[in-house]
C-alpha cells in the first residue's frame, strides 16, 4: 500500500476512534482514541512514521497555546513565577526517588536509571543520557512508556479529583460551536507561515522542542501587542490531538515493547508511583499556597508538555499556567540534570557504589 494511502487509513480510523471516545465522554478523547487505534496498527506490524507531521502539528499547537497568554494572564503568571519554579524543580527531584526502582527492577546501571527516572521530555532525556554515557535506547523506551501511561490515566484521575471542572468543560464546548469566518483564512495562513518559519530557525538554537516553543513564543509576543493574531479554529486543535495520539501509539510496536520487558513493566510501575506522588504534592502545594489545584495538578504532572497542555485545555483549566510549569521544568532540566548526575556519580564512586 502506498505510504500516503496508509497514512490516510490510519488517520481516518484514528479520527473514528477519537469520535467514539468523545461520544463516550472520555477526557482527552481525541488523543486517547487516536493513540489506541495507532497502537493497534503498530502491534499488528504496520509501521507509521509521522515525525514531520507531528512537528508541524506542534507548530500549530504552540501558536494556539501562545494565544492564551493575554497581558492579564502574563501578569498572573509573573506573580506565581517563584512558585512555578519551585514546583518544577520539585517535580524533577521526586523522579530521582525512583532511581533504585530502575536499578533493581530493570537491572539498569545508575546512569541509565537516573535519566529513566526523571520526568523530562523523551528527546531531552535521550540526548542528555547519550552525553552522560547512559543507554539512550533504554531511556527512550522508559520515557515513552511513561508518556503513554500518563496520557491514559491522568485525565481520568483529574476528572475524579476535579468534579467541578464541568463549567470549564462547558466553556470549551461552547468555543467549539463558534462559527469560523472565511475572512480570517488569510490571517490564519499568515500566522501559520510565520510559526513554521520561526520553528525552522529555532532548530539551530538552544531551544528544546523548537517546533512547539518557538511558535508559542511568537504568539505570546503578538498577543502583547496590537497585532493580536486571529484565534485558530477549534478543529485545528483537535487535529493536533489526533497527530499526538497517532505519534504516541505508533511507537508501541511488539519489538519496541519486547525489547526489554523488565524495563517496560518497571516503567509502568514507576509511572503510576510518580503520578501518585506528584498528585499528592500538587494538592499539598495548593492547600499551602492558595493557588487553584487544577493548574497545579496538570503543571506538576509527569506527562509531556504537549499532551498535558492539550488535556488542560480540554477541561477548561488555565493553559498558560500549565504551560508555564512545563516550560520552567524543561529549562531547569536543561540547566541542572547533567551537572546533578555528575555530582551524584562522583558521590557514588567515592562511596564505592559507582555505575556498573
Write the DSSP string, 36-87: HHHHHHHHTT-----HHHHHHHHHHHHHHHHTT--HHHHHHHHHTHHHHHHH
DSSP summary character for residue 27: T
- The residue that leads in pLDDT, 256 or 92, is 92
Rounded Cα distance, 90 and 95, in Å: 9
Rounded Cα distance, 57 and 51, in Å: 10
Q: What is the pLDDT of residue 213?
A: 83
- The residue that leads in pLDDT, 82 or 166, is 82
State the cell numbers at 143.
520515557
Rounded Cα distance, 86 and 306, in Å: 21
Q: What is the pLDDT of residue 24?
A: 81
> Quick check: 275 and 302 in contact, CB under 8 A?
yes
Rounded Cα distance, 279 and 188, in Å: 38
Q: Is the pLDDT of residue 280 over 90?
A: yes
Q: Is the pLDDT of residue 170 over 60?
A: no
Q: What is the pLDDT of residue 356?
A: 43
**Any long-range contacts for 282-287 (C-beta under 8 Å, 24+ apart)?**
282/87, 285/83, 285/87
Rounded Cα distance, 102 and 122, in Å: 17
Q: What are 18-45's pLDDT values in tens digits?
A: 899 888 877 667 888 888 898 888 888 8
- pLDDT band of residue 329 (cuts 50, 70, 90) is confident
- pLDDT band of residue 285 (cuts 50, 70, 90) is very high
Average pLDDT for 65-94: 86
> Quick check: 328 and 88 in contact, CB under 8 A?
yes
CA-wise closest residue to 264 among 38, 58, 69, 105: 105
Q: What are 211-230's pLDDT values in tens digits?
A: 888 898 898 888 888 676 67
Rounded Cα distance, 63 and 215, in Å: 5
Average pLDDT for 269-276: 93
State the cell numbers at 127.
540526548
Q: Is the pLDDT of residue 177 over 80?
A: no
Average pLDDT for 245-269: 83
Q: Is the pLDDT of residue 175 over 60?
A: no
Average pLDDT for 299-305: 86
CA-wise closest residue to 341 among 355, 330, 323: 355
Average pLDDT for 9-20: 91
**Any long-range contacts for 129-136 (C-beta under 8 Å, 24+ apart)?**
131/338, 132/338, 132/341, 132/342, 134/109, 135/108, 135/109
Amino acid at each position: 500500500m502506498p505510504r500516503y494511502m496508509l497514512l490516510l487509513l490510519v488517520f481516518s480510523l484514528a479520527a473514528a476512534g477519537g469520535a467514539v471516545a468523545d461520544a463516550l465522554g472520555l477526557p482527552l478523547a481525541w488523543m486517547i482514541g487516536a493513540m489506541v487505534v495507532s497502537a493497534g496498527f503498530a502491534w499488528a506490524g504496520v509501521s507509521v512514521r509521522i515525525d514531520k507531521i507531528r512537528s508541524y502539528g506542534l507548530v500549530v499547537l504552540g501558536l494556539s497555546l501562545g494565544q492564551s497568554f493575554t497581558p492579564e494572564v502574563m501578569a498572573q503568571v509573573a506573580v506565581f513565577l517563584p512558585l512555578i519554579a519551585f514546583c518544577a524543580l520539585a517535580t524533577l527531584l521526586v523522579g530521582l526517588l525512583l532511581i533504585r526502582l530502575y536499578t533493581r527492577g530493570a537491572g539498569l546501571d545508575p546512569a541509565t536509571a537516573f535519566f529513566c527516572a526523571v520526568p523530562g521530555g523523551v528527546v531531552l532525556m535521550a540526548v542528555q543520557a547519550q552525553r552522560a554515557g547512559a543507554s539512550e535506547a533504554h531511556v527512550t523506551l522508559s520515557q515513552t512508556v511513561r508518556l503513554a501511561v500518563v496520557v491514559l490515566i491522568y485525565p481520568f484521575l483529574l476528572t475524579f479529583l476535579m468534579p467541578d471542572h464541568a463549567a470549564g468543560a462547558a466553556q470549551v464546548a461552547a468555543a467549539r460551536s463558534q462559527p469560523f469566518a472565511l475572512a480570517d483564512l488569510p490571517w490564519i495562513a499568515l500566522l501559520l507561515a510565520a510559526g513554521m518559519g520561526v520553528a525552522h530557525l529555532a532548530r539551530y538554537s538552544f531551544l528544546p522542542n523548537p517546533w512547539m516553543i518557538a511558535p508559542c513564543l511568537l504568539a505570546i509576543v503578538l498577543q502583547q501587542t496590537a497585532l493580536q493574531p486571529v484565534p485558530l479554529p477549534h478543529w485545528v486543535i483537535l487535529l493536533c490531538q489526533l497527530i499526538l495520539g497517532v505519534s504516541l501509539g505508533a511507537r508501541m510496536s511488539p519489538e519496541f515493547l519486547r525489547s526489554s520487558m523488565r524495563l517496560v513493566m518497571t516503567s509502568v510501575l514507576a509511572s503510576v508511583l510518580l503520578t501518585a506522588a506528584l498528585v499528592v504534592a500538587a494538592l499539598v502545594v495548593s492547600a499551602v499556597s492558595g493557588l487553584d489545584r487544577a493548574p497545579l495538578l496538570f503543571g506538576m504532572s509527569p506527562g509531556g508538555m504537549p499532551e498535558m497542555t492539550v488535556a488542560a485545555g480540554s477541561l477548561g483549566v488555565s493553559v498558560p499556567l500549565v504551560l508555564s510549569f512545563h516550560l520552567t521544568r524543561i529549562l531547569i532540566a536543561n540547566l541542572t540534570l547533567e551537572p546533578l548526575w555528575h555530582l551524584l556519580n562522583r558521590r557514588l564512586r567515592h562511596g564505592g557504589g559507582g555505575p556498573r
